[in-house]
Homo-oligomer: A and B are copies of this chain.
Amino acid sequence: MKQWLPSFSFLYQKRPRTRRRSINLSPPVILASGFLGLIVLGTLLLKLPFATEQPITWLESLFTATSAVTVTGLVVVDTGATFSGFGLSVITLLIQAGGLGFMTFAVVAAISLGGQVGLKQQMLAKEVMQQTSLGSIKKTAFAVVTLALVAEAIAIVVMTVYWTAEKGFVNALLESVFYAVSAFNSAGFVLTPNGLVDYQAERTITLLISVLFVIGGLGFSVINNIYEKRRWNRFSVYSKAILIATLLINAVAMAILWLLESGNPATIGNMPWYDQAVNAWFQAVTPRSAGFNTVDTGAMTEASAVFTLLLMFIGGGSMSTAGGIKLGTFIILLLATYTFLRRREAVTLGDRTIPQDLVMKALAVTIVYLGLIFAGIFALMILNSLPFIDIAFEVLSASATVGLSRGITAEVTDSSQLILIFLMFAGRLGPLTLGYFVATPKKRHVRYPDTDIQVG
What residues of chain A have their CB less than 8 Å away from a CB belonging to chain B?
110, 120, 124-125, 127-128, 219, 221, 236-238, 241, 260, 302-303, 305-307, 310, 317-319, 325-326, 328-329, 331-334, 336-337, 339-346, 348-356, 358-365, 367-368, 374, 377-378, 381-382, 387-389, 392, 431-438, 440-445, 447-456
Contacts and interface: CB of A to CB of B under 8 A. Distances in A.
Nearest to A379: B303
A392 B377 CA distance: 14
A451 B367 contact: no
A202 to B, nearest CB: 31
A449 B317 contact: no
A347 to B, nearest CB: 9
A456 B333 contact: no
28 contacts: A128-B454, A237-B451, A237-B453, A238-B454, A317-B454, A334-B367, A336-B364, A337-B364, A339-B360, A340-B360, A340-B361, A341-B434, A343-B441, A343-B443, A345-B442, A345-B444, A351-B448, A351-B449, A352-B450, A353-B449, A354-B450, A359-B363, A365-B455, A388-B388, A389-B389, A432-B456, A435-B454, A438-B456
Contacts of A437: 340-341, 343
A318 B453 CA distance: 9
The 7 closest A-B pairs by CB, nearest first: A435-B456, A318-B454, A352-B451, A388-B389, A124-B452, A340-B364, A431-B456
Contact of A453 (B358, B444, B448): B358
A362 B364 CA distance: 13
Given A345-B445, A445-B346, A453 B340 contact: no
Contacts of A448: 346, 348, 351-353
A388 B127 contact: no
Contact of A353 (B303, B341, B447): B447
Given A336-B363, A437-B341, A307 B378 contact: yes
Nearest to A260: B382
Nearest to A441: B343
A179 B417 CA distance: 47
A303 B378 contact: yes
A221 to B, nearest CB: 7
B337 A368 contact: yes
